[in-house]
Structures are given as structure tokens and as C-alpha cells.
Amino acid sequence: MHRWRVVFSRAWGFLHKGRLDDQLQEELQAHLDQLTEENIRNGMSGEDARAAALCEFGGVEQTKEIYRQQRGLPFLDVALQDLRFALRGLVKRPGFTIAAVLTLMLGIGAATAVFSVVDRILFRSLPYPHDDRLVSFGLLAPIERDEFTLGAGYIDFRKELGPFEAITSMAPGTTDCDITEQHPVRLNCALVEQTFLPTFGTEPLLGRNFTADEDRKDAPLVAILSYGLWKSRFGGNPDVLRKTISLDGKTAQIIGVLPARFEMPTLRSADILIPLALDEAQQRKTAPGAVLRTFARLKPGVDVRQAIAGLQPWFELAISGAPPEFRKEIHLSVRPLRERQTSDARLASWILLGAVFAVLLVACTNVANLLLARATVRERELAVRAALGASRGRLARQSLTESLLLGLLGGAAGCGLAIILIRVFVSIAPEGIPRLQQAGLDVRVGAFALLVTIAAALIFGVAPALYRPSTEIMMGKEQIGARRGGSLRQILVVAEIAISIVLLASAGPLLRSLWKLQNAPTGMETENVLTEQISLGSYNYKEATQQFAFFTDLEARLKRFPGVTSVALSDSIPPAGQMRSTILAAVEVASKPALAEGTGGPVGWRAVTPDYFRALAIPIIAGRGFRGEDRLPGENPIILGDTLARELFPGESAVGKQVRLFKTPDGPWRTVVGVAANVKNDGLVTNGDPEFYLPWKNDPLINLRAGYVIVRTRMNPKSVASWMRSETASLDATLPVSIETMSQRVGKLTERPRFNAMLLCLFASIAVLLAAVGIYGVIGFLVVERTREIGVRLALGATPQSILKMVMSSVARCTIVGAMLGLLGAWFCTRLLESLLFEVRAHDPVMFGLAIFALVAVAICAAWVPARRAMRVDPMIALRYG
């Protein structure tokens, strides 16, 4: 118990040092005075009495010292003393300090900024309690990359949960829904089951969740608002629970508000949750039923593998209801929610994190080099301190304090840099990096920065701390030539070179792949083409005829504009995916047997007007394109993409053949009127799926509610865009539209790889820059140190060229060893990049060669200046004053 008393009392003593010192002085003085008086009383003279008193007392200063150590917190006293000393040292050498702090700022700032971005992808828990037990489960099919289940199967499964504690489902994606009262707006509505919020462990901020009765067909409509919508539309007023909104013309009672930090498991933004109202009878009737996204919470202690095993019986049952051609290609899948959300961003995140740590390591090596160089300069001072009795531990501690102070300064500057970098990342980053908008410098990222700073300080501080001054220097025995510590510094340079090469060799293939990707042929001409995306509200445009009328009206208006060469309508546009999709097995060819088994893989299709091929300059390689009359109701033409034509009619001409689509026995036979050249229709990386085109017309098969207007023009796209906007507004002023040039649309597809390549290049160049500075510093220092030796050599007849050779050869040694290590590292690291590359091999000898060449060039340049200085050493001056 009295331990705490002692600690408290020591802390008190530490804080009130001055006053307590005075008191102690007074007390001891009084004691001495009394002793002296006593001695005088016993007959001694004044002088003797005082001397005897001091003798009896036994060392006033020692007593004080022991007393002070006992009273305060001696380690803290020493730390403060070290700190003061370190601070003085840093202020005294502003050049060194600024160089070290800037270097650290680059390293720590970059690391912190990247961490704040990838933290949310890789580490930070999702905003649901026990998020590690949340999974996405269901089926995976060739045409669907995320888990789904089908309505009827889901209803069966819902009855017994198997390995799950809770399961829930929602409609895929979000649907547009309009608030149709005053100030109408277009919103995203998510249709979710009543179990949705409980499964994710989320309670509404206000109000309540749906009840089971409300999650039924024909139940009165209820809605839960997102926090954002509540704030923006209802001013955060809690009275909102008594209000109704009219959604697509239907009145919905507001029953709850979601908490601010809630997000959809699909990471899409949703403004309103409304009940999914899955109707069992209807799902059974239309079996297999509607496509659903399904999520679950695992029972405690159950892992993903056990869950898959537990789901097997259900899976057998579920696929028995699926169309036979699908069965073989469907898999069961259970994935942790985080993996579903961040699947393709994870690898890039790890790579960026690795790169930025490599940069930090180079920065640390540089600072270690600076500190070591300084330690050599301060050798005399350190030797004096050692000779005066400073223990080795004490000197090491002093040196570490300095490193830590330096680190903290660099870390603080780094945090500033990180804030700027995060802003830059957010502004230049492409869409689809999960949770990027939330990245920022919060407590967690701050703690990371502090941790990294301390770790960095230990890394770069340990070598100088172990540096031991030789006491020989006190005896005037100065060595000629390089002193100890030189080899350690060269090792550090080797490390810098190696890391830089790894980074360069990794950034290279990414850049090259980006270049290839940007120049990859898309199968169309994207210059001078404008696209306008339009999605009609289901309330204002209920009937297909209304939707059809809108688009044809707009088409006619746009055609009138001078300078417009062609105007086309389509329900989707390449090269981004999102086209409608079926399977090869669903395309029947007249007088040919159906596909033996399997789905044959996905086949995409879109509905287009005749001008589509002209607007995008997609060549028709056989037959003809669509004509105006193909848009008439009775006509059933079809145009095949080249790949699909070859698959369906190998070795013969497709034109004039008959096909029937979508497995509809009573559907029309369609005549192939033409074959169009392939275009990329699923991003730039893959060649895409085979595809076919149907004429865009008023047909139940074709989605007329949302589509694209494609305009090819000879004029300035900007002015055409504003004119398109005004033409659209004159038809319907409330309609939200987005107009982009086709080049912008294609450019978006390279944004992710560009972002990755750009960051990696940035980090690689920082590393190379730091390495160059490091080499310059070390060689420069080497030359200064060896000035006397060089002077002797020159005096004994060495030529300046041989001196140059001597200096450069030490650079060459470091570079060669560094390059070899770097190559080895690059060999392992670039393999990780493989899946991010497009038409470029990770182990690309050209790239490796370029990386080495670049670094050798940088090393030679960095060493050149100090090496020249070495050549010009004047032996007289060197020997006299060196």
C-alpha cells in the first residue's frame, strides 16, 4: 500500500524541486550551524569547529544528492536533461535538423496517408457489432460475381438457419424511387427483409425496425430513413416519426431513422429502407423466384469452412430447382463480409502499404546515416563525456533521446503532410475504392503515426546509439583514412539502393500495363462522341409508351441540331459492363441441336437504334446494320457480334440465319441481318462476352425506362453537351441527367490502375530521391573524412584520376551489392503484382534492367560531386590542416 504513497510523494518532490531544495538547504545548514556551535561550546576555535562539524556531518553535497534521488523521479530528471541537451543540439545544427525532419516527414507522412486509406479496407472493423461473424452467402454463377440466392430456395432455407445465428436478404442493388410531393427528388431505395437490421446488429437511431407484418405483400408501406436524408430533408427533426412521405405516388409511414454510421453491406448508398415483402406463394409459383442478396451472422465459434459444410444439404436442394444447364456451373459460396466489400481493393492496398513502408525504411536509413555522420563529427565530444564518467548506457540513452526527438518532429510534420496527401488522394481517386471518402486523420490513424514514428526513431536511432567513441581520439591518435562506422554507413546505402530497386521494378510493370491498357483497342472510336444517361422516374413515366415517347422525342430533337452527325439510343453502352445478359444455351439456332450441357457462358446483349453503329463507329463486317423499318413492331431482326456469330455458326456465314432467344418456345424466330465487329463490353482488361444487338423499340423485352443517348458531333463537345442538356430539360425539367464524352467514360475504366500506378511511382521516386541524397551524403562524408589520406596519396604521386577511381569504386561496390539484393527482392515482390497487370509480365527483364540502369545512373550522379572534390584536394592544405 505504501508503494503508492512513495510514488505520489516522489512525483510531488519532482514537481516542487526548487522549493524543496531550498528547504533542504536550510535544514542542513541549521544542522551544521548547531554542530558548529556545539563544538565551539566544547572549546574549539571557529575554524576548527566548522571543519569538525563538516567532518561529523559527512559530505553535505553527497547527502543532498542522495536525498534528491530519493525525493524525486531521477529517471525523469535525466530524461528532461537529455531532452534539453538534444533540443540544444538540434537547434545548433539547423541544416542537419531540417534535412532529417524533412526526410522523416516524407516517410511518415506518406505512410500515415496510405494507412488512413487502406485501414478501412484491410483492418478497421466494419460498422456492425461482431463484424467478424458477418458473411455474404449464396450461389455463385458465371454471370454473377457476388453471392445470390433465389427466392424459393431462400424461403426454404429461412426456416432452419443451419450454421447461422441469423440470416437476411435484400433486393440486389438499389432502385430509384422518387419522393413525389413538394420538392420532388430522386432517391435510392433499398428493399430489405424485416430481419435485415437485427442481423447486422443495428438499432434504428429513432423509431423502430419493420415488424414481420409490415414485411408482407399488401401491407401498408413503411419506410426507414437514412441519417443523411433525415438531416437534409427533415432537418433532423424527431417529429419525423409522425410523418408520411409519398414514394412513387404511394404513401409511406416513416417509422425509423438509421444511425449516422450505418452503411449498406453492399456499400451502395441507400436513402430509404423499405420492406422487401417477399411473398412465399408468388415465389413458389414463379420458382426459382427472385434474385436476392443474402447475408448472415455466423453462430459464435463457427468459421466459414464449417458454414459451407453446413450449407451443403441446402445447396443440393436449391440447385435441384435451378435450370439444368446452370447446375454444373453454380457454386456455393460463403465469404466474410469484408472480403465481399473489398475483394479487388485488397491486393492493391497491401501493395501500396508495402511500398510506403519501403519508403519509410529508406527515409530511416537516410536519417541513420545523417546521425552516424554526426556521431563521427562529435566523436571528440563523446569521448570527453565518456572520459568524465558517462557510462555507455548513459551515452546511448542520450543518443536515443535525440533520435526520438527528431522522430517526433518528423512525425508531427508528417501528420501535416498526411492531411494534405489524404485530401489529394480523395480528390484524384477513382470511384469504387471502398470507404475512401471517410479517410482522414483520426485518433486511430494518429496512433498509427505515433507508433510508426517511435518505431522509426528506434530503427534509425539504434546504430548511432551503439556507436562508441574511441578514447584513443583523446590521445591525439587520429586515424588517417576512414574511421569505424564507415562500413555500417555503406551497408545502409546498400539497403537504400536495394529497396529503391524493388520499388522501381514494381512501379515499372504497373506503368507499362497502364500504358497498354489506355491504348488497348476498344473496337470503336470514342473521339467526338457524347453520351447522356437518362433514367425516367417510374411515377411520371408509368407506361412503356410514355417512356418510348420521351426517348423518341429527344432523339428527334437532337437530330435537328447542325453539326450532329448521328444520334442513337441504347439501353447500355460499352466498354463498361452493365449490359443485359443471358446465356449461350438460351440462344437457339434453327435446325441445329441445342447445346449439349452447361450454360455455354454468359452472352450480353443490348437494344440499339440504327445509328448506334455509326455513332460509335463500330464496323458492320457482314450483312447490314439496323434500318428505320426494323423499329416497326412486326420486324424481328438481330445483329450478332463477331464472336457470337463464330460460336453459333462456325465456318459459315451467319447472315440470313434464324435464331430464337431466351428459351421461349413461343417466341419469334429472329433473322440475323448482320454481324458487327467485336467491342470490349466488360471493361478494358478482358475481351468481354459475346454479344448481340436487338433493335430499340417499344417491346416488353426492352427496358425503356433508362438508357443512353449517344451523339457523334463535328462541333466542340462542350457546347453540344450544354445544348443536349437544355433540349432534355425542355422535355422534362426535373429529370436528372449525366452527360459525359465517350472518352471520359472509357477513361474512367483506367482510373483504378492509374491511381495504383501513380501512387507506386510517386513512392518509388521518393525512394530514389532519398537514396540519391543518401549516397551523396555518405560519399561526401567519406571524402571529407579521408581528405588527409587523399592528401598523402597525392603527395606520394597518385594521380587525381586514381583518386576518382578509388572513390567511385566504393560507390560501385555499394551499388552492385544493392542492385543484386534489390533484384532478388523485386523477383519476389513483383510476383504479387501479377493479377494487377494487363498484357505485361511481372518478371519483365526490360523493367528490371531499366530499374537497375536508373539507379546506377542516380548513384553515379550523386557520387560525382564529392568524387570531383576528392580529385581536387590540395595535398599541402590537406596535410597541414586536414
Partner 1 sequence: MKPAHGEVLQGTLDLMVLKTLEAMGPLHGYGIAQRIQQVSKDLLKLNQGTLYPALLRLEQRGWVRSKFGVSENNRKARYYSLTAAGRRQLKTEAARWERMAGVITGMLAGTEGA
Instruction: Please state the closest distance from residue 16 (CB atom) to partner 1, in A.
Output: 13
The smaller minimum CB distance to partner 1, of residues 37 and 472, is found at 37
Instruction: Please state the closest distance from residue 398 (CB atom) to partner 1, in A.
Output: 23
Out of 5, 183, 242, 477, name the contact with partner 1 by CB under 8 A: 5
- First-to-final CA distance of the chain: 63
Out of 18, 43, 58, 562, name the contact with partner 1 by CB under 8 A: 58
Q: Which helix (H) or strand (E) holds 293?
A: strand 291-298
Q: What string of DSSP letters covers 136-165? A: EEEEEETTEEEEEEEHHHHHHHHHS-TTEE
- Cell digits of residue 136: 455474404
Instruction: Please state the closest distance from residue 466 (CB atom) to partner 1, in A.
Output: 30
* Cβ burial, residue 543 (10 Å; 0-12/13-18/19+): exposed
Q: What whole-number distance in Å separates Cα of residue 440 and Cα of residue 423?
A: 8
Tell the residue number behind the cell numbers 536525498, with chain if given: 67
The smaller minimum CB distance to partner 1, of residues 65 and 839, is found at 65
Q: What is the dihedral of CA 874, 877, 878, 880, to 10 degrees?
A: 150
**Residue 288: is the preceding peptide bond cis (ω within 30°)?**
yes
The smaller minimum CB distance to partner 1, of residues 35 and 814, is found at 35
532 beta partners: 709, 739
Q: Helices 337-377 and 379-387: crossing angle, nearest 10°?
A: 80
The smaller minimum CB distance to partner 1, of residues 44 and 277, is found at 44
For residues 14 to 53, the per-residue mask of contacts with partner 1, x marking binding by CB under 8 A and - elsewhere, is ---------xx-xxx-xx-xxx-x----------------
3-state secondary structure of 379: helix
3-state secondary structure of 670: strand
For residues 836 to 855, the per-residue mask of contacts with partner 1, x marking binding by CB under 8 A and - elsewhere, is --------------------
Stretch that binds partner 1, among 54-62, 376-384, 413-421, 489-497 (CB under 8 A): 54-62
The smaller minimum CB distance to partner 1, of residues 71 and 120, is found at 71
Out of 63, 282, 540, 698, name the contact with partner 1 by CB under 8 A: 63
Instruction: Please state the closest distance from residue 391 (CB atom) to partner 1, in A.
Output: 16
- Contacts of residue 771, defined as CB under 8 A and 6 or more positions apart, other chains included, come to 362, 493, 496, 497, 499, 500, 855, 858, 859
The smaller minimum CB distance to partner 1, of residues 34 and 799, is found at 34
83-88, Cβ contacts within 8 angstroms, sequence gap of 24 or more = 83/401, 83/405, 85/398, 85/401, 86/398, 86/401, 86/402, 86/405, 87/405
Stretch that binds partner 1, among 65-73, 143-151, 252-260, 321-329 (CB under 8 A): 65-73
**Within a 10 A sphere around the Cβ of 265, how many other Cβ atoms?**
21
Tell the residue number behind the cell numbers 577511381, with chain if given: 805
- Cell digits of residue 614: 455509326
Q: Are 298 and 133 in contact (CB under 8 A)?
A: yes
71 lies in the site for partner 1, by CB under 8 A: yes
Instruction: Please state the closest distance from residue 26 (CB atom) to partner 1, in A.
Output: 7
626 beta partners: none
637 beta partners: 671
The smaller minimum CB distance to partner 1, of residues 21 and 647, is found at 21
Q: Are 789 and 878 in contact (CB under 8 A)?
A: no
Q: Are 464 and 399 in contact (CB under 8 A)?
A: yes
The smaller minimum CB distance to partner 1, of residues 6 and 701, is found at 6
Q: What whole-number distance in Å separates Cα of residue 716 and Cα of residue 737?
A: 20
The smaller minimum CB distance to partner 1, of residues 24 and 79, is found at 24
Out of 11, 25, 45, 59, name the contact with partner 1 by CB under 8 A: 59
The smaller minimum CB distance to partner 1, of residues 29 and 664, is found at 29
Out of 18, 40, 50, 57, name the contact with partner 1 by CB under 8 A: 57
Instruction: Please state the closest distance from residue 55 (CB atom) to partner 1, in A.
Output: 10
Stretch that binds partner 1, among 56-64, 496-504, 799-807, 853-861 (CB under 8 A): 56-64
Give the interface size with partner 1 as a residue count (CB under 8 A): 28
* Cβ burial, residue 616 (10 Å; 0-12/13-18/19+): buried
Out of 14, 67, 234, 561, name the contact with partner 1 by CB under 8 A: 67
The smaller minimum CB distance to partner 1, of residues 31 and 725, is found at 31
Site residues, partner 1 (CB under 8 A): 2, 5-6, 9-10, 23-24, 26-28, 30-31, 33-35, 37, 56-60, 62-63, 65-67, 70-71
